[in-house]
Amino acid sequence: NAGVTQTPKFQVLKTGQSMTLQCAQDMNHNSMYWYRQDPGMGLRLIYYSASEGTTDKGEVPNGYNVSRLNKREFSLRLESAAPSQTSVYFCASSEAPDTGWLNEKLFFGSGTQLSVL
């Protein structure tokens, strides 16, 4: 009963390097999300995927790309990492839209702590 699994848990990059954060859910959820969490800022939505085959920008998409590989997996890619992307990244999933957006509850992974030097 894994829920939402993120890899890696920790990563240190140098400015300009690229990497992909992986996320998989085993709850047969339709929607998946990537958030970043910074001190005093709460969680900010980077990208989301309402269903398999679709992706949309969130509040802070610049510098990121995503791929909804299948219903289970949603990856986040940093093409050229910058120090401003130092953050904790969370993947989440939800049943919506099947259950309706108004009752959407998010299930979160345990996060990836990323440092860009």
Binding footprint of another protein on the chain (CB under 8 A): 4, 35, 40-45, 48, 50, 56, 58-59, 90, 92, 97, 101-111
Closest to another protein by CB, 17 vs 107, is: 107
How far is the C-alpha of 26 from the C-alpha of 5, rounded, in Å?
A: 9
Smallest gap from Cβ 6 to another protein, in A, equals: 8
Q: How far is CA 90 from the centre of its chain?
A: 5
The least CB distance from residue 10 to another protein, in Å, is 11
Q: Which token pair is 22?
A: 């992986």
Minimum gap (Å) between residue 48 Cβ and another protein: 7
Distance CA 17, CA 82 (A): 8
Judge contact between 91 and 32, C-beta under 8 A.
yes
- 30 vs 85, which CB is nearer to another protein? 30
